[in-house]
Amino acid sequence: MALDRLPPLRFEPIFKPAIWGGQRLYRYFPPSLNNSQTPQEGNREEQGKGLNSHAGLSGELLESEPIGEAWVLSDQGNQSSRIPSWHDSRVPGGIIQAYKDLQGMSLRHIMQQHSQQILGQAAQKFKRYPLLFKIIDARLPLSIQVHPDDHKARQINQRKGVLTDDLGKTEAWVVLDCEEESLIYAGLQPNVAPNHFRTASNDLEIDNAIFSFHPQIGDCVFLRAGTVHAIGAGLFIFEVQQTSDITYRLHDWNRVDAKTGKPRELHIAESLECIDFASGPCRPTVPQIRCTQPYSDEQLIECEYFSMNRITCSNPISFPPSPTGRVLFCSQGAGQIIDDNAIYPMSRGNTYLMPANLPETTFIPLEPTVLLNCQIPEN
């Protein structure tokens, strides 16, 4: 496949069942694919009409099964995101040519063929796309868990004889919705030592060791690898993380998996090896205001693996070329990405991978819109 340059890329979500999941992702990603949601060529005023508030990409799902996560952009293991196969009959204006060439392809395949176009300056560092993006629906609390850093991941995998490309997992959350009593568990209370978890015999003893708080919509929590954490019940969260699926469960609220009739496996030894006992409580980040006019731009996270800022706009905004590309997620509102006269509808829940090869692009909001802009560091 030869393409002069890649367009903005949108993928089908990968749904992950979970015993703690709920039903909200069925509504967030309805099964119908509306004409107005497909990248098209044509008149932008006409194309904007009828854009609804949903992401509009979904696979076959059984609505009785609780879904915990939707991976909206993934190059993890054998769970690589795919460009949806849109059909011309659904789109009066026709699909743009680049999407005709790409539909049905996985991010893994596109990375193998076009890593320089996608990652630009970062292409030599990564064999696969280095970040994973997901939306989490926690009807019940997730396990109290921890992820290793890159060094610990290599050590533990080598010791166990596990062959995997997975490394550490630093991540960040943005709260999309929550209930009044919802809790986020993040970091340890002062003076908690490894022996506390070896001897804890009930939920209360574990709970008292973990710092927790009641989040608000819009809160951002940055979790370095080694931070003990859990997403509490009633939370709906956007997550960006290193491309890794290594999780060590420290505590699972003594529940039983209905499918197996047994408790889920815990990983006490690995957890204690990975926990940063010196890190202490982990509170929401304090946004750094970058500008307020003609749009609001808040820096939420900047670390060695990714940066994330929140853009709130009611007027058109231009995105300059990014040396390593960017990922845009729409958490509220709707609009259009304009690239080379092609129109890419953006609505709540949509995620676009904007390759490094893109020239300056414009986002035109159709209503007040909030975008999360994530980038890979240049160095």
Q: How many residues does the chain have?
A: 379
Please compute the mean of the pLDDT values over residues 190-194 and round it to a whole number.
Answer: 90
Question: Is 234 a member of any domain?
Answer: yes
Of residues 303 and 27, more confidence is placed in 303
DSSP 35: G
Cα gap 210→189, rounded to integer Å: 6
Question: How many angstroms separate the CA atoms of 142 and 183, rounded?
Answer: 11
Give dist(CA 376, CA 92) in Å, integer: 36
Instruction: Report whether 85 contacts 99 (CB < 8 A).
Output: no
- Where on the phi/psi map is residue 92: left (φ > 0), alpha (ψ -120 to 50), or beta? alpha
In a domain, 358, yes or no: no
31 lies in some domain: yes
Between 60 and 179, the higher pLDDT residue? 179
pLDDT of 239 higher than 60? yes
Average pLDDT over residues 262-278: 94
- What one-character-per-residue DSSP string does 41-107 give? ES-HHHHHTT--SS--------TTS-EEEEEEE-EETTEE-B-----GGG-TT-B-HHHHHHTT-BH
Q: Cβ atoms within 10 A of the Cβ of 214, count?
A: 13
Is the pLDDT score of 54 beyond 60? Answer: no
Cβ 256 vs Cβ 203: under 8 Å:
no
User: Residues 333-360, buried b or exposed e (16+ Cβ, 10 A)?
Assistant: bbbbbbbeebbbbbbbbbbbbbbbbbee
Percentage of the chain lying above the pLDDT 70 cut? 86
Residue 116 lies in a domain: yes
* Residue 70: partners with Cβ closer than 8 Å, 6 or more residues away: 13, 14, 15, 16, 25, 28, 29, 134, 135
- pLDDT bin (cut points 50, 70, 90) of residue 291 is very high
The CATH number linked to 226 is 2.60.120.10
* Residue-wise pLDDT tens digits, 314-333: 999 999 999 999 999 999 99
- Residues 147-186 pLDDT 10s: 999 999 999 888 888 777 778 999 999 999 999 999 999 9
Distance CA(372)–CA(170), nearest Å, equals 18
Task: Tell me the mean pLDDT in the region 242-258.
Answer: 92
Q: 363 lies in a domain?
A: no
Query: d(Cα 272, Cα 250) in Å, to the nearest integer?
Result: 8
Contact 225, 274 (CB under 8 A): yes
Of 285, 298, 139, nearest to 215 (Cα)? 285
CB atoms < 10 A from the CB of 93, how many? 16
Range 48-67 average pLDDT:
50
pLDDT at 51: 28
> Could you tell me the pTM of the whole model?
0.90
Number of folded domains that form the chain: 1
Tokens 């893994």 — which residue? 108
Predicted confidence band at 55 (pLDDT cuts at 50, 70, 90)?
very low
Print the domain residue range for 257.
1-285
Q: How high is the mean pLDDT of the chain?
A: 87
